[in-house]
Amino acid sequence: MKRTARDSEESNQRLNRRTLMLGGAMGAMIAVLGVRMRYLQVDQADEFKLLAEENRINIRLIPPERGLIQDRNGKIIAGNEQNYRVVITREAAGDVDLVMRRLASIIPMTAEEMGQTIKEVNALSAFVPVTVAERLSWDDFSKVAVNAPALPGVVPEVGQSRRYPLDTDFAHVVGYVGPVSEKDLEGLESPDPLLRIPKFQIGKIGVEKWMEDTLRGEAGTKRIEVNSAGRVMRELERQEGDPGTDIRLTIDADIQNFAQVRLGTESAAVVVIDVTNGDIICIASAPSFDPNLFVRGISHADYNALTENDHRPLANKTVSGAYPPGSTFKMVTALAALEAGVVNADTKVSCPGYIEFGQRRFHCWKRAGHGTVRLERSLSESCDVYYYDLAQRVGIEKIAEMGRKLGLGRKFDLPMSAITDGSMPDKAWKLDRYKQEWRIGDTINASIGQGYVLSSPLQLAVMTARIASGRQITPRLVRMVHDKELPVPDAPPLEIPPEYLAAVRAGMHAVVNGERGTAKSSRIVDPTMVMAGKTGTSQVRNISKAERDSGVISNEDLPWNRRDHALFVGFAPFDAPRYAISVVVEHGGGGSTAAAPIARDIILRCMSGGLPSLEAYPSSQRGRIETMLKELPLRDPVTGITPVKTET
């Protein structure tokens, strides 16, 4: 069939349109390719030139700055300092042994340290950087940087390290940081990637450990470009992390230092609580240690010196030490008997120096006895027989109930390590613990804080604060988190009749200020700062009948570790209580001679806002006290420097 001219024209038009469409599409593709080629060959020429030379891009974590720990006034207790260090990456180093030998010829490194580093490098993924050396001097750091071309995979870095400027004062409270261990990672389902960085440091004990998540912060990242030799060419991108949150404690650093220094060489503990809000103003354990040693990597010699010391410097005696409270427990027994209605403040008890129960004789500390005793005198002169009598009347259940009401036998929720709950025993407790029935002799022993009763210095301070305030004071250690004041725990009334508390307080007043008070020599004569308290002495050995008949050996004649513990609890000012204190001196002998003087000096320091005034002491003691205060090696409150004593 012959095509018409019209058909031929339409066919040509369709062919032309298709040709144009195909040509346009091809032109567009060529244009896109041209633009892409220009982008790759011109705009990205430098980058792809480096990639062509076997360069690669690594992503590394940036450890965040750890949050600061401060005292109640903002003084830094735990801070950060610049740290020059060197790291190595296996995939970039190639022959790790060769590189490490070269590095050891440049910076100080023992064969043991080099071997340990090589072991770590080979055990981890090839791309994970391992810290070789830290806290390098600027000279050593510079040598590594200058020799970088001969040290593939080795990178000098400037990081941060933890520093404790007040060293021994806060070692037991704040604790210290150290490298992450396998034990630290146990139980963590999805650990923070930071924890996988070799030698990354986290809190090990104390506030550093229990507030780790708050203090650590969030990691940042950086993209770096390294060449085939592992040398860093440039940093392509950096995203800073979030620094850790700062924490402010309730402790006053200057008072803490005074207490630590005042305890001296004793194996002892002291806790001071503000009775108005439960703030722990001071919590010192002696002897102490320098936490900076652990951050830097403590030597075997230094560690052995700490562990072999019979005064146990690593132990935090304030919260982990559980001691028989001795006569400081007598207020518990007295309040239990008053509340049960079996006695009143004027009930008389005869003390011939002992009581007999069955075939056993329970002695008073005063062999000749105290004669007729009422409540106030029983506390003032610490008559044991009075409390033996009360114990038989009231029973252990009421005593234990009162002890728990006053904070004994309870583990308080504080960010500190190894907190003990002590022991406030009753019949069920003994049956569960020892599968034995409770006996009346157990009650008699418990009435004077012996036997199964155990308390920490923290618990004794809480007990005293509750007696002084009449409220359920709860201790707190953290005052602020990131400039935000934390709420003060509620302190409802104790639900103990005020007249009973007043009767016990009067007895505690007589202990320190009465004519025959056991702590009379530690009284405060300033009428605005009068202290009330109770001495205590807890036995650490049994006294046989033969020794008692021939004369009890004095503490001074016994080896140190067989002497009695010395205790004192108190509060001041008497008319408007502000501070409660507990002091325990291990194997110190008598509470009146070893613990009470320390308590007076520390509580005066709290009330005075500086060194105690000599006018607060009895005139006969001022010369001795003045010399003692002058010789205390206290830190300068501004610089934080402790003076170095020189021989004269």
Q: Which residues contact 606 (CB under 8 A, 6 or more apart)?
A: 252, 255, 272, 281, 282, 578, 579
Rounded to an integer, what distance in angstroms lies between the CA atom of residue 355 and that of residue 353? 7
Active-site residue, 267 included: no
In DSSP notation, 292-361 reads HHHHH---HHHHHHHHT-TT-TTS-TTTT--B--GGGGHHHHHHHHHHHTS--TT--EEESSEEEETTEE
* Active-site pick, 327, 447, 455, 456: 327
Query: Does a cis peptide bond (omega within 30 degrees of 0) precede residue 487?
Result: no
Alpha-carbon torsion, ordered 523, 527, 529, 535, to 10 deg: 30
Amino acid at 477: L
In DSSP notation, 108-171 reads ---HHHHHHHHHHHHHS-TT--EEEE-S--HHHHHHHHHTGGGSTTEEEEEEEEEE-TTGGGGH
Rounded to an integer, what distance in angstroms lies between the CA atom of residue 565 and that of residue 170? 24
Q: Say if CB 392 and CB 444 are below 8 A apart.
A: yes
For the chain, helix, strand, coil in percent to 5 are 40, 20, 40
Q: Which residue has the tokens 């652990």?
A: 294
Burial class (CB in 10 A: 0-12, 13-18, 19+), 5: exposed
The single-letter DSSP state of residue 438 is: -
Rounded to an integer, what distance in angstroms lies between the CA atom of residue 448 and that of residue 355? 14
Rounded to an integer, what distance in angstroms lies between the CA atom of residue 162 and that of residue 175? 11
Report the DSSP beta bridge partners of residue 81.
Answer: 161
Phi, psi of 14 (to 5 degrees): -65, -40
Q: Which residues contact 532 (CB under 8 A, 6 or more apart)?
A: 468, 505, 508, 509, 511, 512, 513, 570, 571, 572, 574
Q: Say if CB 74 and CB 252 are below 8 A apart.
A: no
Q: Say if CB 307 and CB 314 are below 8 A apart.
A: yes
What are the distances in angstroms from CA 635 to CA 252, 405, 530, 600? 13, 39, 27, 20
Annotated catalytic residues are: 327
